Structure 1
Amino acid sequence: MVRRVVEACAQAFTQTLTLLALAALLLAVAAPTLLSAQGTGRVAGVVRGSESKVPLPGAQVTLVGSTLTVTTNNEGRFVLAPVVAGELRVRISYLGRTPRTITVSVTTGGTTTLTADLESVVLSAVTVRASGQAEALSRQQNAANIKNVVAADQMGRFPDASAPEAVQRLPGVALQRDQGEGRYVQLRGSSAATTQVTVNGEQIGSPEASSRQIALDAVPVGVLAAVEVSKAITPDMDADAVGGSVNLITKRPGIGRTVTAELSGGYAAIREQGSGLGAVTYGDRSADGRFGWLLSGSYGRRNFGSDGVEPDYDDDALNELEVRHYSLWRQRTGSTASLDFRPNARTTFYVNGLWSELQDQEQRRVQAHLIEDGELAYLHKNRLEKISTLNVLAGAEHQLPRGIQLDYRAGATRSQEDTPFDREFGFLQEDVAFSPSRADVNRPQPNPSAAALAGTYAFDEMEYGSSLTRNRDLVGAFNLSFPLRLGTSTTGRLRVGAKARDRHKDQVLDAFATELEDGDLVLGRDIGSRFDNAAFSAGRYAMPFRTSASDVSDFTTRFHSMLSSPEADLEAQSEAFDLRERVLAGYVSAELNLTPRLLFLPGVRVEQTQLESDGNVFDAEEETLSPMSAKNNYTNLFPMAHLRYRIADQTNVRAAYTQTIFRPNFFDLVPYRIVDGEDVETGNPQLKPMLARNYDLMIERYDQRVGVISAGVFFKQLTNPVFSQTLDNELGGETTTPVNAQDGEIRGVELAWQQRFTSLPGVLSGLGLYSNFTYTDSRATQPNGRVTRLAGQSSRAYNIAVSYEKYGFSGQVSLNHVGDFIDELGEEEGDDLFANSRSQLDLSMSYFFTSSTQVYAEAINLTNAPYRTFQGAPDRMRQREFYRPSLQLGLRFRP
């Protein structure tokens, strides 16, 4: 009953906003959009901080007595045009600074320039150092759509090395982790694949083969100026953002010389290994201010690992258990380059580039208890993976006569996931007796017979191969903006634009296997050594033998004469594919200031998608691969509407209705077919995209001491979600394929409070709070009719950070919590794989011993929070993995 009422209200809300949006657009297009140049001029200028003369992006500039208002750009610049000639007053406001009203004189056809310096509300070293977060909250406050922004100085307060670790601190954000580190960003209960990721406003392609989700842990925070998370997109943004959009903003040239440096070292207790990080930024601007450039680079290497166990069950009986010991290093390298050229006050040319690479080398040692088969196995995997992205974006912005604005850009992104080697050998011991016990559900024991663990393990098989997935995106776009005046008071801008994006993605791979052909190889005698894992974090589990990375990499060379000729694994090679996706888009929208306090943004976007894909058909019986091709085309329309009403100078009420799309994951669209005996697995090139109708309502109150408190609700109606379906086939087995299912929905609540308590007396004035809470609920019907939560949706996520800043000292204790969520959906309820809730406690401290030099210390995962999964019920634990705390000490230089 409640769901039907919510859906009815949502439908009525949609119809009302859609009618308003269409009416406003028709009125805007039909009305004279260009104001006459006769009797009008322009006001142009720059807004700066009074103490530093640094530009203030995101400041609000309003023509007093009218609805005409703009916000300053990345250089703190603005243009009010056209304005009626005469003596006018301009009001400028910015969070954390005292507003100013300036009187200017405008002549017909002329441009009046001004420089506005705003004083800080509480002028102190802390306030000056927090200018980046003041800019972020000012952008958030004055944006037409619902978004959260976090700046570099706020990211620096937390011990976060990569972009997803920084984003997780925002409301509505949860992370999918790998080896304890954040990798994929999930927004508002949606899967990570539905999160749009952009760099400086343009999408970057996923380097992964199967999914559209993007591993952001390759991007170090040291190359970023800010991160924007848009919860409700606008018509000028790409529509594939069901969850939302994460925009990584790289560092840009300032008004003068920019120099920053950072150096640190760390220690991971779990493998007793050190790590290090270094970052530097240098930029400058020419004396005449026309040419600016900035370069930044970051390098970090972390040596760490994890200890874990992974049991499996047959009904309630333990039938398998793997003891896993990981040692790995991850190396992050990133750099940005930014150049701009302003030949005059009305024109800017720019080029921005970002390169990032994550190298991940993993040693995975496994002691497998194969209880059902009566066997013990030892396996060692040595794998190197490189994820890299190169993004270059060039464009220009022009201020044309009569207040017309034109911008255009072209960009290219090259991303790839390269696995140059992936090798794993296995040794086996047969006829082992077990007495399994599940008395402790967190530490089930296989209990092999006495002396079996350290017995004789004979070589079984070695598998090795390589893979390379490449993604190339080319994009071109333009936007044209016209000033509007409707009636006697409504002002605004009409925007039109178009974009073309061409994506080419392919995967090539090799996979081989070899077995013993002559003689025998025994673990601990011919290769490997005894191993004492008494400090194993996951509990009392033995792993009697240990092999090294070189044992795996040199194995085929060392024992070449004893091994059979390599045999190609055609089933693995059948995952090779080639895919081309082209999207043509256009939009029209109007940003209307209906009153000085009420903003209305209606618009519509259209996107046409063309898809071509090539895959393989594998027949296990015939041991053959055959090529297969497919095509698919579709067009979608996305109406949108945003309302922002300022009920007070620092208080906004927002409402939004948007429509978005999720194009199915890449490999699901490939026409592959794998026949293995009676079982078949296929792709589905004719999958429909998932569509979402999104509703948002929010109220936010900003504080001049750089704070905000907000509350919002959201609701998403999903059409054509994609699920994996398994059905009986005519061969007597089962066929598994991705299909579109029935509708689904996501709903939730977001709360946030960020505050500095500078009004408290004495030493207490240094206290601060950064907190947010998100509740989400979802429902979807699988193809078999079962109603379930969506995979990846956690009912509760929150951040609580208590900080103290005074006398040059800054300290913060932060807690990040993500509740239970379904990691993988099964056919039946008892088959769902859940990830347990997880809370991570971090500590960071720093001290400015000069105005520009800071020492800092960070401690991550202080409580050794494990990653734990279970299947169906909490007592059926499937994985439990520990990472132990890690430490970091460093030095920052920021004059």
Structure 2
Amino acid sequence: MYKSLLLMIIFHLTTFLASAQVIKGTITDKNGEALIGASVVVEGTTNGAIVGLDGTYIIKGTNNSSLNLKASFVGFKTQIKSVTVSGETVVDFVLKEDHQELAEVEVRASRELDTDASARATEQHSPMVLNVVSASTIELSPDLNVADVMQRVSGVSLEQNNSGVGSFAIVRGMPKRYSYTLVNGVKIPSPDNKNRYVPLDMFPSELLDRVEVTKALTPSMEGDAVGGAMNLIMKNAKDRFSFKINASGGMNTLFLKDGGQPFLTYDQSLTNKIAPHDRAVEGYSATFNDFTTDNLVPKETYNPIDFNLGASVSNRFLDGKLGVVLAGSLQKLHRGSDTHVYDVGYNQITNLVDLETYEYRQYSSAMTRGGVHNKIDYVFNNKHSISLYNALIYEREDQVRETVRYRLWDGEYDPESQSGTATFVTRIRTTEQKIQNSTLQGKHQILPAWKLDWSAVYSLATRNRPDQTIFTRNAAFVNGVPNQVRVEDFGSQYRIWEDNSDRDYSAYINNTVDLDRFGELKVGGMYRNKERTNNYIRYNFKPLNNETKTGEDWKYNEVDWSLSNPKGGRTNPLNYDAHENILAYYVEYKYEPSQRTEIVGGVRVEHTDQGYTLRHPPYEMDPEGGQEYVDYLPSLHFRYKLNENSNLRASYFRSVIRPGFFEIVPYSIGEEVTDTGIDEKGNPDLKRTIADNIDLRYEVFPGVRDNLFIGLFYKNIQDPIESGVKRDERGRTYLQPDNFGSAVNYGLEIDATKYFRNFGIKANYTYTQSSITTTKILYVRDDPNDPSSNNKPVDVDQTRPLQGQSAHIGNVSLLYKNQKMGLDIQLANVFTGKRIDQVVRYYEKDFWQEARWQMDFSMEKHFDFGLTFFVKARNLLDTPLVLYVDQELNERQSKYPKQGNPGDPLKVRDERYGRNFQLGIKYKL
């Protein structure tokens, strides 16, 4: 009996131990990229597993100590390994692509740039602080353009325009001017009429292999970034034939017929692209017959359809020596906002702002974006290669802005009955932007220890805004119905033609000398010749109609007009030519005193010659201006390899930020045509900004797709440039760029990615603090004890954060992948803390933007034959953008639209953009 019991115990124990045997491991390609969805089975059985999001598999319950494991994946050769199992056994597979092997040729191997594994490897081995987003990550995200992709990067937030479209990146709390954009490693000009920074929403995300954000500059990089340098790496030719195509359609809930606002459109094809003055001989006097009117009549529609089309094809020929890639994208999107805006005045007695006007605006923007790029590269042998890259990026925005403006002073507006004096303002404008780039590059091994690479670049960025029209009417509202609508007759009717271009000729050369055990020396330089032209023509009109309409509004083509200035006001300072010549050269030295330590340092010198010439200067205005200077920009980068999977980094670099051409021209623009709703002026005395930057970062790479970054940064900024609100001698306020003393910016960044079988999480958080002290105005009594004494303005210091800097920025993306079902799901969340949107001249009265949380969603369903159905949804919470002044609402103010309860902050803007949805298919061969 005891023998039987003992045998039974041994049998069950042996069975338990056998069932406790586990086989686990990874399946990757030659680049180390996890082959998610690959299968591995015990040969001759059905026992197996699928590779999860973390790149691993687990097989339990194997009874044999010796067996064969078979790993397979579509497009790769099956691999079989004989395994002896004992307890927990690790078996890793590296699968080879299943295609015809080529005859031996002299071609240097190239690393795929569009994978997550490649992105992590670049971050790990880079000499500087870097973040990389791969095309694999971009493809699964809800994002349709590069700007939306950028906000997923740690420390990056977006500045949105009045249609809710994020265009410009704010890196580490530094305003958009403190970063620059590269395409394939070379800087591109901006089509923006005012600034240097490139509108990132112009670039369709599907044209990219990856995005690299460098946060610490080396001497070989251009030195005009404090926040970071954003490098857009466009698609390269694959080693074998590749073809992708996608199509999707969608809608914005803001313009739904049930519960939404109408989408306003106009016939843009009838717009004259060239002003009457430029269509005729010099000195031509225009008449009203030179102007169209039917293009200025908005029409209402609902449920406009968005669409997105994209395709790419690439291959290598001539035994792999010749690579060709061609990719294109076309988007038509309908965006807008439901906006409530307040203009505020300043009470010199109480030092409080008060609400002077209330505006209800409806924005409707039809946005057409397109891009095409082509790259041809040829590898002569393992020492010499050459490539030619060409790209054209295009965007057109047809926008209608309808405004109803109520006067709030002297009880002229009753919010409860919606009665009072009002003004109707229709603004119609088309904005066309283009970026063209051609880059010829070569790489050469001159001697065994000497490598040389060079680039010759032509770039042209243009922006054209033809026939921007302001149409103003006066009205009296009674119980919400307009009564006695009359066309305005006091200088608020005009049409503007403006265009600008930035042309760059650039040349780069870099020499790298291998000094063997003494390190690596890099010497090079760059020269850029930039020329800018800006044209601005404004025609003023006067209505001949005196009658009024009751209960309805006027249309532009119903009015009889006379032209007040037939010459078009060509003497405006915005008609100018400008130049900027930059000569830069550098020395960079890389040394590894041990296998674990890497040091990169050197200095960059940049000579800047910047200036402008007014073509038709107004009376007593200097027709020319400019500045010339030299900057020495040292940098030092230290990397210590704690082990194979972790680094400790420390970096220092100095950088320079140059003013934009537009900012130093002595221009003046009225509030009716600005996006800020306030007059704007240029500043010829604006100086460049110098910044010293320090970075520390700890990095861990526990898996091919996982990472953990913990970093600290500090920036000391001299003469920072911000736009501040000022007041002229007549008491009128205006917005002007200026240098505001000195500032500091410091913070903490945490970035983590972790995959757990079918689930994954990407998260980052950035804490930023900045400090700048500027002079503000505060009114005080001549005699503080005498309330009847004169009130006078005094200058007081105010310490505040930099404009656009949020203390808290965060991203959390939750991912799920089920290979058996062919399902990918992502829920992406972006948090942007409160920040200063506009700097106001008066003490503690800056405009703050409320903290915002945006939630986006994407889902893909894959089929084995290469077809994928997908859903993308943005702004699921329909999060509004709210600007406020840190001042308590009083009882009277709380009654106005979109204001809160007494004691709440005083709102100056409230915008809602709606939710955006896309449904589509894509095919990959």
TM-score, length-scaled by structure 1: 0.76
Aligned to 1:814: 828
Look up the equivalent residue of 1:786 and give its one-letter code: Q
1:455 matched residue in structure 2: 483
The reply to whether residue 756 of structure 1 matches residue 755 of structure 2 is yes
Greater mean deviation of Cα atoms: 738-747 or 390-399: 738-747
Among 132, 137, 143, the alignment partner of 1:154 is 137
Task: Please report how far the alpha carbon of residue 351 of structure 1 lies from its aligned counterpart in structure 2 after TM superposition.
Answer: 0.7
Q: Kindly state the Cα deviation for residue 577 of structure 1 after the two structures are TM-superposed.
A: 2.3
C-alpha contact (below 8 Å) 2:494/2:540 kept by paired residues:
yes
- Counterparts of 1:183-198 in structure 2, within 5 Å, are 183-198=167-182
Which ranges of structure 2 fall in alignment gaps of 5 or more residues? 1-28, 36-90, 96-103, 256-302, 346-351, 413-420, 672-677, 777-796, 888-903
Answer whether contact 1:600 1:642 (CA < 8 A) is retained: yes
Q: Separation in 1 of the partners of 2:738 and 2:114? A: 49
Aligned pairs for 1:397-796 within 5 A: 397-429=443-475, 450-451=478-479, 453-460=481-488, 461-485=492-516, 490-520=517-547, 522=549, 551-552=555-556, 555=557, 559-560=559-560, 562-566=561-565, 570=569, 573-615=572-614, 628-672=623-667, 683-723=682-722, 738-757=737-756, 765-783=757-775, 785-796=797-808
Secondary structure of 2:844's counterpart equals helix
1:137 is paired with a residue whose SS is helix
In the other structure, the counterpart of 2:124 is: 141
Change (3 A) 1:98 1:203: farther
Does the CA-based 8 Å contact 2:315-2:324 persist in structure 1? yes
Aligned counterparts of 1:578 and 1:358: Cα–Cα separation in 2: 24
| Aligned-pair CA distance for 1:835 | 1.3
Among 159, 182, 185, the alignment partner of 1:176 is 159
Per mean C-alpha deviation after superposition, the further-off stretch among 624-633 and 284-293 is 624-633
Q: CA 1:806 to 1:725, structure 2 compared with 1: closer, same or farther past 3 Å? A: closer
Partner of 1:90: none
Q: State the distance in 2 between where 1:571 and 1:50 align.
A: 60
1:355 Cα deviation after fit: 1.3
Question: Number of residues paired by the alignment?
Answer: 724
Letter in 1 for 2:531: H
Q: Hey, what does 2:260 align to over in structure 1?
A: none
Other structure's SS at 2:812 match: strand
* RMSD (CA atoms): 3.1
CA distance in 2, matches of 1:578, 1:224: 34
Separation of aligned partners in 2, 1:180 and 1:567? 37
Could you say if the C-alpha distance between residues 735 and 345 of structure 1 is closer, same or farther in structure 2, counting changes exceeding 3 Å?
closer
Check 1:407–1:576 CA distance in 2 against 1; reply closer, same or farther (3 A cut): same
Task: In structure 1, give the amino acid aligned to 2:190.
Answer: S
* CA-to-aligned-CA distance 1:712-771 (integer Å, 9 cap, x gap): 0000001122356788888999998654332211001000111111xxxxxxx2000011
Deviation at residue 258 of structure 1 after TM alignment: 1.8
1:202-281 to 2 correspondence within 5 Å?
202-271=186-255, 272-281=303-312
Alpha-carbon shift at residue 588 of structure 1 (Å): 0.5
- Report the 3-state secondary structure (helix = DSSP H, G, I; strand = E; otherwise coil) of the residue aligned with 1:457: strand
Q: Deviations over 1:785-823 (max 9, x none)?
A: 432211011111000011101222100111101111111
Instruction: Report the CA distance between 1:243 and its aligned residue.
Output: 1.2
Which of 341, 350, 355 aligns to 1:310? It is 341
- Paired residue secondary structure (2:217): coil
Give 1:422 deviation, angstroms.
Answer: 0.9
**What's the counterpart of residue 63 of structure 2?**
none
Q: Report if aligned partners of 1:754, 1:771 keep a CA contact under 8 Å in 2.
A: yes
Q: Could you tell which deviates more after superposition, 692-701 or 133-142?
A: 133-142
Task: Tell me, yes or no, if the aligned pair for 1:615 and 1:671 is still in contact at 8 Å.
Answer: no
Say yes or no: does 1:893 pair with 2:905.
no
Amino acid at match of 2:367: R
Query: Helix, strand or coil for the counterpart of 2:701?
Result: strand
In structure 2, how many angstroms separate the alpha carbons of the residues matched to 1:265 and 1:230? 34
Letter in 2 for 1:635: V
Cα distance between partner residues in 2 of 1:838 and 1:721: 26
Q: Which amino acid aligns with 1:455?
A: N
Asked if structure 2 preserves the Cα contact closer than 8 Å seen for 1:574 and 1:625, the reply is no
Cα contact 1:644–1:655 (8 A) shared by 2: yes
State the 1:213 CA deviation.
2.3
Give CA-to-partner distance per residue, 1:69-119, whole Å, 9 cap, x none: xxxxxxxxxxxxxxxxxxxxxxxxxxx99899xxxxxxxxxx99899999x
Deviation at 1:631, TM superposition (A): 3.0
Q: Could you tell me how far 1:573 is from its partner in structure 2? A: 3.1
Equivalent-residue separation in structure 2 for 1:51 and 1:168 (angstroms):
25
Deviation at 1:849, TM superposition (A): 1.4
Greater C-alpha radius of gyration: 2
Q: Output the amino acid matched with 2:764.
A: N
* 8 A contact 2:243–2:314 mirrored in 1: yes
1:671 shift after superposition? 4.7
Q: Return the offset for 1:428.
A: 0.3
Structure 1 unaligned regions, length at least 5: 1-45, 53-95, 101-110, 119-127, 433-447, 529-550, 758-764
Question: Partner residue of 2:294?
Answer: none
What do residues 553-583 of structure 1 show as CA deviations (whole Å, max 9, x unaligned)? xx3xx544x5454567749933232210111
Per the alignment, residue 892 of structure 2 pairs with none
Q: Quick one: distance in 1 between partners of 2:732 and 2:166?
A: 39
> Alignment partner of 2:500: what SS?
strand
Distance apart, 1:458 and its partner CA: 0.6
Question: Which one of the candidate residues 327, 332, 336 is aligned to 2:369?
Answer: 332
- Counterpart of 2:842 in structure 1 is 828
- Alignment counterpart, residue 797 of structure 1, candidates 804, 809, 815: 809
Give 3-state SS (helix, strand or coil) of 1:799's partner: strand
Counterpart contact for 2:164–2:336, Cα < 8 Å: no
- Post-superposition offset of 1:50: 10
Q: Is the 8 A contact 1:579 1:670 kept in 2?
A: no
> Aligned partners of 1:262 and 1:97: how far apart in 2?
35
**Cα pair 2:572 2:667 within 8 Å, conserved:** no
Give me the TM-score of the superposition, normalised by structure 2: 0.74
Partner of 2:393: 356
Quickly say closer, same or farther: Cα 1:607–1:390, change in 2 above 3 A.
Answer: same
CA distance in 1, matches of 2:33, 2:180: 37
The answer to whether the 8 A contact 1:717-1:745 is kept is yes
Structure 1 stretch displaced more, 232-241 or 198-207: 198-207
For 1:381, the equivalent position in structure 2 comes to: 427
**Residue identity in the other structure for 2:222:** D
Offset of residue 49 of structure 1: 6.7
State the distance in 2 between where 1:262 and 1:725 align: 45
Q: CA deviation at 1:670?
A: 2.2
Aligned to 2:265: none
